[in-house]
Chains A and B, each alone.
Chain A
Amino acid sequence: MKVMSPEELEKFRRGLLARRKHKRVIAVCVGTGCVALRAQKVAEAIKDDVKKHGLEGRIEVRKTGCLGLCELGPMLIIYPDEIPYFRVKPEDASEIISKTIMKRKLVERLLYKDTITGETVSKIKEIPFYKYQLRLLLENNAKIDPRKIEDYIAIGGYSALAKAMFELTPEQVIEEVKESNLRGRGGGGFPTGRKWETCRNALGKPKYAIVNCSEGDPAAFKDRALMEANPHAILEGLIIGMYAMEVSNGFVYVRNEYPLAAEHMELAVKQAEKMGFLGEDIMGSGLSFRVEVHRGAGMFVSGESTALMSGIEGKTGEPRPKYIHTAVRGLYEKPTDLNNVETWMNIPLIISNGAGWFKSIGTEGSKGTKVFSLVGKVNNVGLVEVPMGTTLRDVVYNVGGGVQNDERLKAVQVGGPGGGFVPEEMLNVPVDFDEMVKAGTSMVLGSVVVLDEDTCIVDLTRYFADFLSEESCGKCIPCREGLRVLLKVLNDVYEGKGKEEDIEMIDDIAEIMKEASLCALGSTVVNPVLTSLKYFRDDYEAHIKLKRCPAKVCKKLRGENQKWGRSLP
């Protein structure tokens, strides 16, 4: 069936809601993290049990994307009561059905237990992890099966597209996005509306629009989780953007290491074509848009916009000089707008609720929310969304529930290889584009890694250098050779062979890489090195001068009488 007008879309949506007979929904997370913990088996077991009790007509078992608290997966939520169960095993299925569904009794052992009071929590929103978040992009994850476009339409999906296409002119859409002050979530923080305007006004046809889901940083999985859980929201944002910029061809670039995300996106495109949100004569408007899903080869450098475009063109994913914006000359040398998954996902929200609403969230310079993965030595590992302006301290202690085993926090590493270290005393820095840059890291912020006193900063910096020396494309001399020497020097420091002049050498190389590298990879990957030198110089000096690793991590410096780790007596 094709939707031929906004009215038909609304009628279709009402029909969907009217046909819903299910009284309750069991939303089982089958995001990649939970699947690794046998979540598929849990979902199947629950389905079987529902069938056994003859409840199929009344209970819907919904397989959803990431529900957030990965630490305690596999997890599920029972609606409308909003009862969350954690660490669910397939064997628990029958008890959940017979107790909670049939008798409305809670299964105590599967509930969340407060770490401080020890009391169980039976409402999802009362769990501290969720209480301190503002989940604008993530809250729909539980409400939809990413494989069903009907689920997305039922919660009002594609109505923002209808509004944009039938109530607003392309210029008004761009004006709205500009007014909202939405900034690029990939890390650059460039105002999205301005980028759109540049692309729209640029000469040359055809133009292209691209969704960047080439998330290669270790520890980050927010783009994957968003695309796995809610592909239609990203697609809707993309189509709105294509309408605003008068682009007829769109691409979704997904790295092949994200098979589930790519699969869901491919399915979403097919379903959208079937429903008439893509293809010819969209919703009876006479406009035609095409979207193609491109599976990338999964290099870290492919996340860089020009490298990504080379990849789509069928060439090696290598960056090229970007002194002329890609919005003017990008894919196939034509004007191309490229935005991060999360940026695109904000678009339908802005169009539906208005720029004024969006601007009411966040700080002066950064509006809206930020999604990232919270990982490392923190109690609540998971996918997090907080309003801009939330301090990292609140993220770690309120949302994250503090450091594991009540260890002392040493630093947080934000943004992976392109970000930096934020030491404990600077944790009051808010999640905000400008404040983050001031703190010496960039706002790449796909991940926040919590580090305790047992973490050796030198060792971790060495890990990043090792990762990057193979993930850099190797085209320009500062980045390729800089990383080669950096890795060797950091390895020497790690092994106790460091020399006094090494710190200066590291500093020198990092400076050259920052100033002279060809692309943003080379110039941002020195952030961890520079911030580690700035805030943890003592650690380096202990390794070099005293031949001692304060965190007792670096093997060759552990010595005979040093104990492994801090947790041992």
Chain B
Amino acid sequence: MGKIVTLKIDDKEVKTEEGMTILEAAKQAGVEIPTLCYHEGLDPYGACRICSVEIEKRGRSRIVAACCYPAEEGLKVITRSPRIDKIRKTIIQLAAVTAGEDVAGEMRALASEYNADLSRFRSRVPMEPIKCILCGLCVRRCIEANWDSAIGFEGRGVNRRVVLFPEKAGICSTCNYCYVVCPTGRISSAYGPDPPFPFIDDVLAGRK
């Protein structure tokens, strides 16, 4: 058992173990912070930035990602404010550029909650929607399930994509983990309810 630290999340006093993140501490206290690239079983990744919160430390306020920032003694956290809402809304709008307006899952729910017009930036950048926000959950989950990854990232910057490594396709054990974690509903289940049940590698290879 580590040291106990006390912090303030939205005026709620929260006691938590040292080494926990703000997100974990908030969860304990029943304060909801939205996430897209976070998964309990995986290391924090800090890519979607939806969990951005405002912290106050030594009188100075700054924006941090709750999934990565460690809970510190005396820290003051604000999880909802006009500033935070604007950041989240803009991030969802930006994410829609690749994801498209027709998204399902967690992202759809967040878009309604934060009243985000998904076509704001999309309408300016004509590109084929790929229903993917590159959160990396499928890739990281695959590594954990198979000790290696059948899928991974290719390219950098705006050219970043999730791809299947053809020479590693054999690793896929159709465990469905990637389907379960996908926040936009891009990956369909191998045994899911809707036909035609595409496999993850079919989807990523563009066959389905």
Contact = CB atoms under 8 A, between A and B. Distances in A.
A483 B158 contact: yes
B9 interface: no
A485 B87 CA distance: 16
Contact of B94 (A316, A470, A512): A512
Given A324-B70, A485-B94, A488-B125, A477 B133 contact: yes
Nearest to A471: B157
B90 interface: yes
Contacts of A320: 46
Nearest to A515: B63
B68 A473 contact: no
A299 B95 CA distance: 24
Contact of B95 (A471, A477, A487): A477
B157 A485 contact: no
A516 B62 CA distance: 10
Contacts of B98: 481
B77 interface: no
Nearest to B54: A515
Contacts of B124: 485, 488-489, 492, 505
B114 interface: no
A478 B68 contact: no
Nearest to A514: B63
A299 B156 CA distance: 10
A518 B157 contact: no
B95 A481 contact: yes
Size bin of chain B's contact surface? 20 to 34
B102 to A, nearest CB: 17
B130 interface: no
A477 B160 CA distance: 11
Contact of B157 (A321, A470, A478, A516): A470
B157 A481 contact: no
B97 interface: yes
A518 B44 contact: no
B55 to A, nearest CB: 10
A480 B160 contact: yes
Size bin of chain A's contact surface? 35 or more
A321 B91 contact: no
Nearest to B62: A515
A471 to B, nearest CB: 6
B48 interface: yes
Given A316-B153, A476-B48, A481 B87 contact: no
A515 B124 CA distance: 23
Contacts of A485: 94, 97, 121, 124-125
B68 A516 contact: no
Contacts of B47: 475-477, 518
B103 to A, nearest CB: 14
A340 interface: no
A114 interface: no
A321 B46 contact: yes
B156 A471 contact: yes
A414 to B, nearest CB: 24
Interface string B113-139: 000000001001100000001101000
Interface string B155-169: 111111000000000
B68 A477 contact: no
A474 B134 contact: yes
Contact of A480 (B52, B125, B158): B158
B5 interface: no
Interface in A308-361: 316, 320-321, 323-324
A468 interface: yes
Contact of B70 (A323, A469, A489): A323
A333 to B, nearest CB: 12
A472 interface: yes
A427 interface: no
A490 B91 CA distance: 20
B90 A509 contact: yes
B97 to A, nearest CB: 5
Contacts of A401: none
Contacts of B121: 481, 485, 505
B70 A481 contact: no
B141 interface: no
A477 B133 CA distance: 8
Given A488-B125, A512-B90, A517-B49, A321 B44 contact: yes
Contacts of B153: 316, 474
A482 interface: yes
A508 interface: yes
Contacts of A89: none
Contact of A518 (B49, B69, B156, B159): B49
A401 B125 CA distance: 44
Contact of B46 (A324, A473, A476): A476
A509 B134 CA distance: 19
Interface in A449-496: 468-478, 480-485, 487-489, 492
A475 B69 CA distance: 18
A468 B63 contact: no
B171 interface: no
Contact of A474 (B52, B90, B91, B155): B155
Given A470-B159, A484-B97, A515-B63, A478 B125 contact: no
Contact of A473 (B64, B65, B156): B156
Interface in A425-446: none
A469 B95 contact: no
Contacts of A484: 97, 125, 158
A515 B153 CA distance: 25
A475 B157 CA distance: 8
Interface in B17-75: 44, 46-49, 52, 63-65, 68-70
16 contacts: A316-B153, A320-B46, A321-B44, A321-B68, A323-B64, A323-B68, A471-B156, A472-B158, A474-B157, A475-B47, A477-B95, A480-B158, A480-B160, A484-B125, A485-B125, A515-B52
Closest 4 A-B residue pairs measured CB to CB? A474-B160, A321-B68, A481-B94, A321-B46
Interface of B: 44, 46-49, 52, 63-65, 68-70, 87, 90-91, 94-95, 97-98, 121, 124-125, 133-134, 136, 153, 155-160
Given A475-B160, A487-B158, 4 more contacts: A476-B49, A478-B49, A485-B125, A517-B49
